[in-house]
Amino acid sequence: MTEVPRLPVSGGCRNTPILKQRGQREVFCGLTGIIWLHRKMQDAFFLVIGSRTCAHLLQSAAGVMIFAEPRFATAILEETDLAGLADAQDELDKVVGELLARRTDIKQLFLVGSCPSEVIKLDLSRAAERMTQKYAPSVRVLSYSGSGIETTFTQGEDACLAAMVPVLPETDTRQLLLVGALPDVVEEQALSLLGAMGIGPIKVLPAPRADSGLGIGPNTVFALTQPFLGDTHAALERRGASHLAAPFPFGEEGTTAWLRTIADAFGVDPATFERVTQAPRARARKAIAQASEVLRGKSVFFFPDSQLEIPLARFLTRECGMDAVEISAPFIHKGIVGPDLDLLAEGPTLSEGQDVDLQLDRCRAARPDLSVCGLGLANPLEAEGLATKWAIELVFSSVHFYEQAGDLAGLFSRPLRRRDLLSVDAPSLCPKNSGGEAQPRGQSPEGAVS
């Protein structure tokens, strides 16, 4: 029999008071999600209505393959357009008309809003409705905001998926819906495990193509694969679908608990569950044990960034032997991360949102062995001798389910191993360095060289 996850003796963190501070924040914007979403949706195109800054962000982050037609672009709204919003709408219609005439492979077009005030004044949802009427049924036009104002970078995916839910067809079929964009190989592992238990039919949001036959209805039960999908969760519930709340599938324990929640909802018997999960669980445990050696007894401090912080803290403390000092997330949605909070032992500070200066003060006072943070904070913290892990790398890497559990632990152990190596080498690199700094000044943080 597979054992049920042990609850912490001290009690979980679901009812721990949450420190809420508002001030300056250090986050990427939601446009970042286009980088992984355009790979998942093979007939979609993302047209950002934005500034040159947005275009630079997308091009530098996603790169452009010159031998392939890109599936994202930025329509740059010049400042002179401010005076004439009607002209801007006409211009947008013209750009979209030219795009769709040239690219007949596009079946879903997303108009993506951004920060500039002239963009905020444009009603992109009305524009999307107007264009859908014009181009239906061959193209579906939707809109969402990827603006960096009051958002964090993973909200881009959430906003995109939430925009899709209301226009999906109705279905009465009893089905499982997996929600969240995962790398294809990881998604296939999940489908294979669930399929081997006899669970089906299984659908995925985002579906690879607009005509994938995905519908939603009162007999749809859904499991989130990412903890940052609060708006999508609400949109699915408004369509009558039911959420299976579970710890997120990070590590052996999280994956088993996530699978078990689904298996219970679909009446899978314990023997079948055991038969399907036993071997991959054993592999995951072994891989985690090897990769987490250096993490045992070390402290970790999470700055708010990816919204993966709470499930990852659960994984690091329970399966890798780390001690969490502070676990901070941009938003804490207990309907989504509650099961992970139940498993987190009391002790760390839980915080939501950020006043970055105050939080940096707490981090400096705690001197954690590892700080998980955004790109903007990594270099300053490294310069102060604190090891860091870029939160964004956790979103871009394959980290879900059993076969990736060892890699997930490895992502956290690598900065600590590297720091140990540099600590030994530092005196010989710089004769004046008597050991006060663990690495030469100007050295990039771990993520830059990995």
Shortest spacing between CB 151 and ligand SF4, in angstroms: 9
Which residue of 33, 50, 156, 410 would you call a contact of ligand SF4, by CB under 6 A? 50
Amino acid, single-letter form, for residue 158: D
Instruction: Examine residue 57 and tell whether it contacts ligand SF4 (CB under 6 A).
Output: yes
Instruction: Examine residue 54 and tell whether it contacts ligand SF4 (CB under 6 A).
Output: yes
- Is 301 within 8 Å of 325 (Cβ atoms)? yes
Instruction: Examine residue 53 and tell whether it contacts ligand SF4 (CB under 6 A).
Output: yes
Closest to 323 (Cα-Cα) out of 301, 291, 308, 292: 301
Instruction: Examine residue 111 and tell whether it contacts ligand SF4 (CB under 6 A).
Output: no
Specify the stretch interacting with ligand SF4 by CB under 6 A; choose among 47-55, 88-96, 237-245, 293-301.
47-55
One DSSP character per residue, 238-299 reads HTT-EE-----S-HHHHHHHHHHHHHHHTT--HHHHHHHHHHHHHHHHHHHHHHTGGGTT-E
Shortest spacing between CB 49 and ligand SF4, in angstroms: 10
Which residue, 152 or 225, has its beta carbon nearer to ligand SF4?
152
Instruction: Examine residue 416 and tell whether it contacts ligand SF4 (CB under 6 A).
Output: no
Strand order in the sheet with 349-352: 18-20, 349-352, 323-329, 299-302, 370-373, 388-390
- Is 303 within 8 Å of 391 (Cβ atoms)? yes
Residue 199 neighbours by CB under 8 Å, 6+ apart: 176, 262, 263, 266, 268
Instruction: Examine residue 148 and tell whether it contacts ligand SF4 (CB under 6 A).
Output: yes
Closest to 162 (Cα-Cα) out of 14, 33, 267, 260: 33
Instruction: Examine residue 292 and tell whether it contacts ligand SF4 (CB under 6 A).
Output: no
Binding mask 1-30 for ligand SF4 (x = CB under 6 A): ----------------------------x-
Query: End-to-end alpha-carbon separation of the chain, Å?
Result: 40
Shortest spacing between CB 225 and ligand SF4, in angstroms: 25
Which residue, 338 or 376, has its beta carbon nearer to ligand SF4?
376
Instruction: Examine residue 147 and tell whether it contacts ligand SF4 (CB under 6 A).
Output: yes
Shortest spacing between CB 53 and ligand SF4, in angstroms: 4
For residue 75, what are the β-bridge partners?
A: 49
Instruction: Examine residue 146 and tell whether it contacts ligand SF4 (CB under 6 A).
Output: yes
- Is 163 within 8 Å of 373 (Cβ atoms)? no
Shortest-Cβ-distance residue relative to ligand SF4: 148
Where on the chain is the footprint of ligand SF4 (CB under 6 A)? 29, 31, 50-51, 53-54, 57, 114-115, 146-148
